[in-house]
A and B are shown apart, each in its own frame.
Chain A
Amino acid sequence: MNAEPKIDAKARYAAGVMEYAKMGYWEPDYVPKDTDVIALFRITPQDGVDEVEAAAAVAGESSTATWTVVWTDRLTACELYRAKAYRVDPVPGTPGQFFAWIAYDLDLFEGGSIANLTASIIGNVFGFKALKALRLEDMRIPVAYLKTFQGPATGIVVERERLDKFGRPLLGATTKPKLGLSGRNYGRVVYEALKGGLDFVKDDENINSQPFMHWRDRFLYVMEAVNKAQAATGEVKGHYLNVTAGTMEEMYERAEFAKELGSCIIMIDLVIGYTAIQSMAKWARRNDMILHLHRAGNSTYSRQKNHGMNFRVICKWMRMAGVDHIHAGTVVGKLEGDPLMIAGFYDTLREGRTVQNLEHGLFFDQDWASLNKVMPVASGGIHAGQMHQLIHYLGEDVVLQFGGGTIGHPQGIQAGATANRVALEAMIQARNEGRDYLAEGPDILAAAARWCGPLRAAIDTWKDVTFDYASTDTADFVPTATPA
């Protein structure tokens, strides 16, 4: 148990301005309770601002404090409601930046509301003048709080059962060009890709209801394509129908129509907001629908290391909010993604429990309290020739989306889809046979390409494509070599 903080009430509540640390927002001896929410911030104090005071200020501004002392605190159990900064460490190798651990009592938050949680944790505090920059790196969500959330509507296991697809990554593609196709032309792309061997095709994040294709038209043509491909292959197929719209009412209307047409999956964009996402997750649970989330907009605040929030926090919130799919990086593709950081995101989405792993950016042990698992989606600049690397880095519970890598195939969309599916199955077969598939990957693909013309053409077309840029969001902790 923690000792009661020894505060002289008369001094503490005298009117005027006081340092946050002295107001009780800095408690270095505090031991967080199992039911506390813990946040880990990266703080960059203004020159001359002490890091402990900066951490206490973050704790204060994200909980009970305001800029001056108020006597009305004394009408409340204010010791409990104060967030407590309890640890501040310098960021390794980065002068001027500090990690601050802050604990919040469970009573500060409304159950089942990401909006309420985030209004506190990333509310006013990010604009606070005493800090040059502030980044939310990680959170430990207590089991007691997790149990107030629905979690993923479907989850990885039930999604696989519904689709009858096991033991391999799922394959998808985003329809291209993302804008301008009519409904009739759009459905053609969907049919070709599904018949050729993909499991899913996807609307892009900004395909909603535009002059070139209104949403009902898209839904009708797409579902014709899905059903036709299902009959042509004997496999369950799907298309993520994007129901993102200007109002909840419109989103519900589109989701209902998708259900009426027999779609197994719908899609939303991150930009619709946390409350809208939670509402759609509840709708998806009620209607046996898989819910795909496109992380549109996240890089505006997740990419730079000193300010904003880490994507792993978005992963946690989205698992709580209840989506089934989320785009979480490819390692080898065209979008930002350091392998170690992405391993941390994927574990956060897929494991029942994660343990602290600083190299992967996981600061806390996190028990997921049997919330369903979220299927990560890898999308953006990946192709069949990288299949061994994709499976090595991302595992098998992932959707691999080859948009350009399917639709841009020189022999057509079906051939592109077939190339991807053959590459995938050949690699899974080799992995299961115990081969060193990462090292032998190119040989395994070449062997399959000897009997599969579409794969041969795909490898010839894209063999030299790589996106080799340094990542901006990387680990602050590197493994120290142990002496031999």
Chain B
Amino acid sequence: MVDSPATIDLRADFAASGLADDLAQLDHDLVGLAPVKRRIREITALLLVDRARATLGLKSQPPTLHMSFTGNPGTGKTTVALRMAGILHKLGYVRRGHLVSVTRDDLVGQYIGHTAPKTKDVLKKAMGGVLFIDEAYYLYRPENERDYGQEAIEILLQVMENQRDDLVVILAGYADRMDTFFSSNPGFRSRIAHHIDFPDYADGELVTIADSILTGLGYRLSAAARTALGDYVARRRGQPHFANARSIRNALDRARLRQAVRLFERDEGAVSAEALSTIEAEDIRASRVFDADKSL
């Protein structure tokens, strides 16, 4: 047996873990989301201390690490789950650090005897990593008492309880629906250690996200286009199926399409690199989001 050391240098431990890179990457990848980032740092610190306690031979249970990520679509839940898998891997809480992302359709079958093999196949692939179940509440359909989702839930609960060393499960979805889901499935609630709420992005944050998406594609917004995009965000938020960053990405795809048509259809033939890379206000304002204004 190796004797436990008397002290442990947490700062050195943190430096050696390489976690600073993951946290910096998270900051870089995700605009805003300050409360989420704070929660990730807290969880990281907790796990680091937990590990240190184990090293010093202090009493420590293997921690429960299953989590729930609640928030509207496009608020960065999948991206954070990916980073979380990396962080847990570096801390030694999952062996491989890969993320397997699924929805109800990947777990639940269409007929009797189909669900268990499907769920188990997903579990086999996720072992050693993180299983991310998006819109997890669809697993539970109380309106149909023969729903096969219940079978998947039972298998998941069993693995979440008995194989905590092998797998971390993250359940994700809209906050209100997740609340309902947890109240009808107390088994899940009791096995979830960390809840993280993902707030919607502010208008300004979404414009910043747009800038970073466009920079990645080699485009830029003109000053007028940036103003137009601000107006777009404010209007889009009130309309159905608003999905935060995902809506912005879709809007930019359509703006690039309009820009291409605009450049193609104008009279003069020569086009500058500048023009090819610039999204103008008209490319944004042609969106249907502004239709309501026009009819006024």
Do A and B touch, yes or no (CB under 8 Å, in the complex)?
A: no
Tell me the A residues contacting B by CB distance below 8 Å: none
Residues of B within 8 A of A (CB): none
